[in-house]
Amino acid sequence: MATLGELAKYIRSKGAGPFWVTIDIFCEDEKSYEMIKNSNNISAGYISETYNVPEENVKTFYLDNLRVVKFSYPRPKIQGSKYENDMHSGQQYVLIADADV
């Protein structure tokens, strides 16, 4: 079984304003995109469990023409707050890169 990091061309995470984080999964070909899009492992439930947010707060987007899967979820701490430790959320994708697809 392949991992998300092996199938995706790029995975990135970033802040989507001071209250949200977005993870973008870019695929180079249609086969990889469909595998990730249809995976039971790469889902709102998985994001919820991994990032400790309620599943109903995870938003999922499939951008078929770009072959991108996108997840957005509320930041655990507001961007720039005293105990926030990833100002741009650029390291958050690492937690899902080794997930089985």
Cα-flanking dihedrals φ and ψ of residue 20, to 5°?
-135, 155
pTM confidence score: 0.91
In whole angstroms, what is the distance from residue 38 CA to residue 18 CA? Answer: 30
Is there a domain that residue 100 lies in? no
Q: What is the pLDDT of residues 11-58, one digit of tens each?
A: 999 999 899 999 999 999 999 999 999 998 999 999 999 999 999 999
Is there a domain that residue 61 lies in? yes
Is there a domain that residue 34 lies in? yes
Q: What is the pLDDT of residues 59-85, one digit of tens each?
A: 999 999 999 999 999 988 888 888 877
Q: DSSP letters along 42-91, please?
A: SSHHHHHHHHT--GGG-EEEEETTTTEEEEEEE-SS-TT-TT---TT-TT
Is there a domain that residue 68 lies in? yes
Q: What is the span of the domain harbouring residue 52? A: 4-95
Please state the domain count of the chain. 1
